[in-house]
Amino acid sequence: MKFMGYKRPDGSVGVRNHVLVLSSVVCANHVSQRIADAVPGAVAFCHSNGGGLLGKDIEQTQRTLDGIAINSNVAAVLVVSLGCEGSSAERIVEKTKASGRPAALVRIQECGGTTATIKAGINIVRNMYEKSMEQEREEADISDLSVSLECGGSDATSGISANPLVGWVSDRMVGLGATVILSETPEMIGAEHILFGRTASPEVSKKVIDIVRSVEEGANLMNVDLRGTQPTPGNIEGGLSTIEEKSMGCLAKAGSSVVMEVVRYAEIPSSNGLVIMDTPGFDVESVTGMVAGGSQVVLFTTGRGTPVGSPIAPVIKITGNPDVASWMRENIDFDASTVTTGEESLERAGEKLFQKLISVISGNLTSSEILGHSETGITRIGPSL
């Protein structure tokens, strides 16, 4: 199956053609946002990391920033650096150029401060944007697509309709050769045996168990009872009562496909098919990790309603709750409540959601894009120094 996308020199295919202003450290966020705001068509990736981090944290932050920069939805990158941070702005530029796309770097300390850096950055980004406008969509195969699966603000309808509906589309995409990424490790607790029984190898099964056990051990080290956060107060109010119940609903997004591999946070999968990424359940950080891992589009279910988006990847919001579909209609892209009420079969609604996905990757904007939602967050491992 084919779709129309932006072909990159490294062989990847984007569904958007963004010029990205990427902050290498929290101290550069204001300047990055001001530059992006001044050039129509540019987007900013701002975050709270980049300085004062210990070993694994700086490694993970760097991997995330590298991955965001080379996501195939990005046509060109301006990296904005303070000039003395722990993360490497130079490495981001090098990796972007190695992918065949334009990249540049400005340092606030070298430009002479905020105003001078903004002025210099605007000139660079404006030229990048004008160049990016020359590229047109071309026919590409659906196997070039990576789809992220996410749920946030889940309720009882999420497990009844919205998540199984996404699972139907997930299986369809895997069957067409695409990559599908399931995340949210804490929301696998109590249901990990389901994934254990459908992996491509014993090694993958072991990794599934290992990442779930790591979350449990991390909570134990902090003397925290996971029942205080999973399910959340909103989940409970929405009808979910146990961790296991929430996990069963979460895993429904993955359909019935075989799990091919387990990857680290923000790591690009090495195989097509269904992949698990080890992320937190916090939707903003989870989506950021999967997009850094190469996903061009996100299928995001919500039973309670959440407006979260992404700076560079379209996020398709799906709800199985008829009330949310009504009162948060400006944030919802697909109303799955017809499955909840029995008015429509899973298969019929699944085909409609699949067609919605195709229309979005072909250029139709999602609600989060129209409303300007661009939330980001990079998962932390340890303390700040």
Which of 73, 105, 134 corresponds to the end of one domain? 134
What is the spatial distance between Cα 251 and Cα 75, in angstroms, rounded to a whole number?
33
Q: Provide the β-strand partners of residue 21.
A: 44, 78
- Answer yes or no: do 96 and 159 share one domain: no
- Answer yes or no: do 243 and 346 share one domain: yes
Any domain includes 377: no
Task: Show pLDDT as tens, one digit a residue, over the chain (385 residues).
Answer: 999 999 999 999 999 999 999 999 999 999 999 999 999 999 999 999 998 888 899 999 999 999 999 999 999 999 999 999 988 999 999 999 999 999 999 999 999 999 999 999 999 999 999 999 999 999 999 999 999 999 987 777 888 899 999 999 999 999 999 999 999 998 888 888 888 889 999 999 999 999 999 988 887 777 776 655 666 676 667 665 666 766 777 889 999 999 999 999 999 999 999 999 999 999 999 999 999 999 999 999 998 889 999 999 999 999 989 999 999 999 999 999 999 999 999 999 999 999 999 999 999 999 999 999 999 999 998 888 7
Query: Residue 338's closest CA among 327, 326, 346, 328?
Result: 346
b or e along 32-60 (b: 16 or more beta carbons within 10 Å of the residue's beta carbon)? bbbbbeebebbbbbbbebbbebeeebbeb
- Answer yes or no: do 175 and 321 share one domain: yes
- Answer yes or no: do 212 and 85 share one domain: no
Any domain includes 381: no
- Answer yes or no: do 47 and 80 share one domain: yes
Terminal CA-to-CA distance of the chain, rounded, Å? 50
Any domain includes 6: no
Which of 90, 113, 134 corresponds to the end of one domain? 134
* Residue 228 Cα distances to 28, 68, 90, 215, angstroms: 35, 33, 42, 14
b or e along 72-82 (b: 16 or more beta carbons within 10 Å of the residue's beta carbon)? bbbbbbbbbbb
Q: Where are the alpha helices (DSSP H) in 70-185?
A: 89-98, 108-111, 114-132, 156-157, 163-175
Query: Residue 3's closest CA among 189, 114, 139, 126?
Result: 139
pLDDT in tens, 14-71: 999 999 999 999 999 999 999 999 999 999 999 999 988 888 999 999 999 999 999 9
Number of structural domains in the chain: 2
Backbone phi, psi, residue 254, to 5°: -90, 0
- Answer yes or no: do 104 and 152 share one domain: no
The DSSP 8-state label assigned to residue 274 in this structure reads E
- Answer yes or no: do 130 and 160 share one domain: no
pTM (predicted TM-score) = 0.95
**pLDDT of 226:** 65
Neighbours of 189 (CB within 10 A): 20
What is the spatial distance between Cα 68 and Cα 18, in angstroms, rounded to a whole number?
11
Any domain includes 290: yes
Any domain includes 58: yes
List of E strands, the chain:
2-7, 13-14, 18-23, 42-45, 74-81, 103-107, 138-141, 146-151, 179-182, 259-263, 273-277, 297-301, 315-319, 334-335
Which of 80, 112, 134 corresponds to the end of one domain? 134
The side-by-side arrangement of strands in the sheet containing 42-45 is: 42-45, 18-23, 74-81, 103-107
What is the spatial distance between Cα 179 and Cα 41, in angstroms, rounded to a whole number?
28
Any domain includes 106: yes
The side-by-side arrangement of strands in the sheet containing 179-182 is: 259-263, 273-277, 179-182, 146-151, 297-301, 315-319, 334-335
Per the structure block, which two tokens stand in for 66? Answer: 């590298």
- Answer yes or no: do 156 and 110 share one domain: no
- Do the beta carbons of residue 181 and residue 233 sit within 8 Å? no
Query: Residue 1's closest CA among 175, 255, 182, 257?
Result: 175
* Residue 42 Cα distances to 60, 134, 289, angstroms: 25, 15, 21
What is the spatial distance between Cα 257 and Cα 254, in angstroms, rounded to a whole number?
7
In CATH, what number is assigned to the domain containing residue 31?
A: 3.40.50.2300
Per the structure block, which two tokens stand in for 95? Answer: 């990796």
- Answer yes or no: do 187 and 120 share one domain: no
What is the spatial distance between Cα 70 and Cα 67, in angstroms, rounded to a whole number?
5
Query: Residue 280's closest CA among 211, 207, 210?
Result: 211
* Helices H / strands E in the chain, number of each: 16, 14
User: Parallel, antiparallel, or unpaired for β 273-277 and 259-263?
Assistant: parallel
* Residue 351 Cα distances to 1, 69, 226, 335, angstroms: 15, 33, 37, 13
What is the spatial distance between Cα 169 and Cα 349, in angstroms, rounded to a whole number?
10
Domain residues for the domain of 57 are 18-134
- Answer yes or no: do 176 and 45 share one domain: no
Query: Residue 151's closest CA among 44, 348, 9, 300?
Result: 300
- Answer yes or no: do 204 and 351 share one domain: yes
- Answer yes or no: do 306 and 169 share one domain: yes
**With helix as H, strand as E and coil as C, how does 205-263 read?**
HHHHHHHHHHHHHHHHHCCCCHHHCCCCHHHHHCCCCCHHHHHHHHHHHHCCCCEEEEE
Any domain includes 379: no
